[in-house]
A and B are shown apart, each in its own frame.
Chain A
Amino acid sequence: NAGVTQTPKFQVLKTGQSMTLQCAQDMNHNSMYWYRQDPGMGLRLIYYSASEGTTDKGEVPNGYNVSRLNKREFSLRLESAAPSQTSVYFCASSVDSGTGYGYTFGSGTRLTVV
């Protein structure tokens, strides 16, 4: 049981380049999330998908887009990367949103924008 799988694990981009971070879960969870974590800080929610076919903005959505491709997969796209988007990105999933269920996190994607 892999849990939440994120690819790639590391990436270096030049300013203005685009890329998509991939996330897949195999736990049949309904809800999925994208967070970013900057050095010395807690996680901040970028976007989430409460269920297949729905997406909503979190605390810091500017500069990002998301796609809930199916129940398993939730991707995060940076259309034109900026140095301020240098961060560690975590994908998470949960049985459901709006309940007391815990989250399962992936191991993260470390992104550097130069």
Chain B
Amino acid sequence: DAKTTQPNSMESNEEEPVHLPCNHSTISGTDYIHWYRQLPSQGPEYVIHGLTSNVNNRMASLAIAEDRKSSTLILHRATLRDAAVYYCILRHANFGNEKLTFGTGTRLTIIP
């Protein structure tokens, strides 16, 4: 199964942009790249996903490398509420082969 690699932790100053990297060198052509975040004592929350093109939504942007072997989640202006563990996950797009596998993620600390 394709796996992802993320830094264990990152820090960022409040109100500055944050770039969270993810490597997925064994990604297959049908894998979607998903990002979730988990605030303390809560369930994971969907952030964004993409396949090949860069994606934007109200929460974040997702930049996908041209070879799809890496991606970056971009929080444009970090707030204290963005402090969480961020998971980069590959989701197989083959019906009946559901293997959304979470790694240990990146713990993001926001410095006031």
Contacts and interface: CB of A to CB of B under 8 A. Distances in A.
Interface in B75-111: 87, 91-105
B112 interface: no
Contacts of A100: 32, 49, 51, 91, 93
A98 B102 contact: no
**6 cross-chain pairs, A with B, having the tightest CB-CB distances, nearest first:** A98-B95, A105-B43, A42-B102, A102-B46, A43-B102, A100-B32
15 contacts: A31-B98, A33-B98, A41-B104, A42-B102, A50-B95, A50-B98, A58-B98, A59-B99, A92-B43, A97-B96, A97-B98, A98-B94, A99-B93, A100-B49, A100-B93
A104 interface: yes
Contact of B44 (A41, A58, A90): A90
A102 B99 contact: no
Interface of A: 4, 31, 33, 35, 40-45, 48, 50, 56, 58-59, 90, 92, 97-100, 102-108
B96 A98 contact: yes
Interface in B56-90: 87
Interface of B: 32, 34, 36, 42-46, 49, 51, 87, 91-105
Contact of B104 (A42, A58, A97): A42
Given A45-B99, A103-B100, 7 more contacts: A35-B102, A42-B87, A42-B103, A97-B96, A98-B94, A98-B96, A102-B34
A34 B99 CA distance: 12
A94 B82 CA distance: 24
Contacts of A40: 104
A50 B104 CA distance: 25
B45 to A, nearest CB: 7
The listed residue with most B CB atoms (<10 A of its CB), out of A33, A41, A103, A106, is: A103
Contacts of B46: 102-104
